[in-house]
Structure 1
Amino acid sequence: MARTKEFDPEAALHSALDLFWERGYEATTMADLVERLGIGRQSLYATFGSKHELYLKAMERYAETQNPFLVEELSAPGPALPAVRSLVRRFAAEAGADATRLRGCLVTNSAAELGAHDESVARRVELSWEHLETLLHAALARAAAQGELPPGRDPRALARMLLVLMQGLRIVGKASSDPGRVRDAAEQALALLD
């Protein structure tokens, strides 16, 4: 007779996500995970596999929890440019806020820590960025079609510029104690939409 799990795998995954988000992949040990999740090492391996597999699952869960809000925000009916502006400003505000500044974004953190040498992480980072770029492009294409953008502006190029800006805001926000730095950068980039 198979033993039933004595813990909630969803809650454990959420706890692992929080720990990786706080400390990063390399600084999080299996002992840290066992302690934070409150489950035995064998149960952890049996349920999630290796630390690396658990990290990838945590990245996937993070994407699932973040992306629905982006879709809602950028695909709402009506003028599209205010939603784009709002999203960029929200990224800047979050990057400069003390409560979220040091934690940053798990995808951006993963790109900086592991993206250059971990193909699985790089693939998930790229998927996340492609998703955001696609949403931005669709919103900006809609804005162009509705006459909200000046003629001749390339919605794809603008979407890519905003994606890079938004990821940069997260990196600079983590290291800078001056929220004006990220706010000013966001406003200068948004001026390109006028």
Structure 2
Amino acid sequence: MARSKQFDESEVLHKAMQLFWEQGYEKTSMNDLVEHMGIHRRSLYDTFGDKRTLFLKALERYSDIMEARLSSGVARSESAMQAIRFLFDFMIEGYDDKPSGCLFVNTAVELGPRDAEIGEKAVQGFTDTEQLLTDIIGKGQQSGEFKTKLDASELAEHLHNTLLGLRVQGRASVDKEKLHRIARLSLTSLNQ
């Protein structure tokens, strides 16, 4: 007779995601995962498969969380500029239960060159953020809020590159005041 799970699958996946985010894939051992997730090794394998499969599921979890939080913040914004400022502030300030930096950035740097499938997951995360920026910029241009005549998608690529740089510097514990200065200067491109 099969035993029922004695843990919440979503909760332990979240714990694995946070550990991978904090330590990276290579530095996170199966023992680290078992201890941090608070489940037995056999349960980990039975539920999530091997370490790589667990990591892919953790990336999907991260993507879902980021999409929900970013979409929610943008939806609450009263203007296109407020929506973009929200994105920049979110990337700089983050939220309470997270390690610093960005799991997609960390993954792209650590594993992207060696694992095409994992690298593609990181790139998809980048693409989703660029599309969100493109949509916001396009709305701001249509409403006349943004004066720039630059192509919305090209401007989104530029702003996204700035966001990625902010996430990397955040991981290195650069002063947040400096990061906010960089963000403010970058946002001037919307009205040039």
TM-score w.r.t. length of structure 2: 0.89
Corresponding residue for residue 32 of structure 2: 32
User: Which 4+ stretches in 1 moved above 4 angstroms?
Assistant: 75-78, 99-102
SS in 1 for 2:147: coil
Corresponding residue for residue 104 of structure 1: 101
1:193 CA displacement:
1.1
1:58 CA displacement:
0.7
1:159 CA displacement:
0.7
1:75 CA displacement:
4.4
| Residue in structure 2 matching 1:191, options 169, 180, 188 | 188
SS in 2 for 1:117: coil
Q: Which runs of 5+ in 2 are unaligned?
A: none
Q: 1:7 to 1:78 in 2, by over 3 A?
A: closer
| Residue in structure 2 matching 1:150, options 130, 147, 151 | 147
Corresponding residue for residue 45 of structure 2: 45
Q: Which runs of 5+ in 1 are unaligned?
A: none
| Residue in structure 2 matching 1:174, options 171, 175, 181 | 171
Question: Quick check: 1:162 aligned with 2:159?
Answer: yes
1:178 CA displacement:
2.8
Percent identity for Structure 1 against Structure 2: 38
Q: CA RMSD in A?
A: 2.2
Q: Mean Cα displacement is larger for which, 168-177 or 122-131? A: 168-177
Return the structure number with greater relative CO, CA threshold 8 A, min gap 6. 1
1:93 and 1:183 in contact (8 A); partners too: no
**How do 1:8-157 and structure 2 match up within 5 A?**
8-75=8-75, 78-94=78-94, 103-157=100-154
* Equivalent-residue separation in structure 2 for 1:20 and 1:74 (angstroms): 27
